[in-house]
């Protein structure tokens, strides 16, 4: 079946590219999240450290 073979070829060819794109996007997203967390940490620490009445 030629069509099935063609589909398999396309999947085999495009899968590594898709995987690479997903990995790159994830790395960027993780980096952004980490930066945001590090950015928010001082404020979070301040909120946790300060007595509840002073919020």
| Domain of 28, in residue numbers | 2-54
Per-residue pLDDT, 52: 66
pLDDT at residue number 53: 60
Q: Considering its fold, how many domains does the chain have in total?
A: 1
pLDDT at 29: 92
Q: Which of 40, 12, 37, 32 is nearest to 4 (CA)?
A: 12
DSSP 1-55: -HHHHHHHHHHHHHHHHHHHHHHHHHHHHHHHHHHHHHHHHHHHHHHHHS-GGG-
DSSP single-letter state for residue 51? -
Global pTM reads 0.46
DSSP-based three-state secondary structure for 38: helix
The predicted pLDDT at position 49 comes to 84
Model confidence over 13-48: pLDDT tens digits? Answer: 899 998 998 889 899 999 999 999 999 998 888 888
């Amino acid at each position: 079946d030629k069509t099935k073979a063609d589909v398999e070829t396309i999947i085999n060819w495009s899968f590594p590219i898709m995987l690479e794109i997903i990995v790159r996007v994830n790395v960027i997203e993780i980096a952004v999240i980490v930066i945001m967390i590090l950015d928010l940490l001082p404020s979070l620490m301040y909120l946790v450290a300060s007595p509840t009445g002073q919020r």
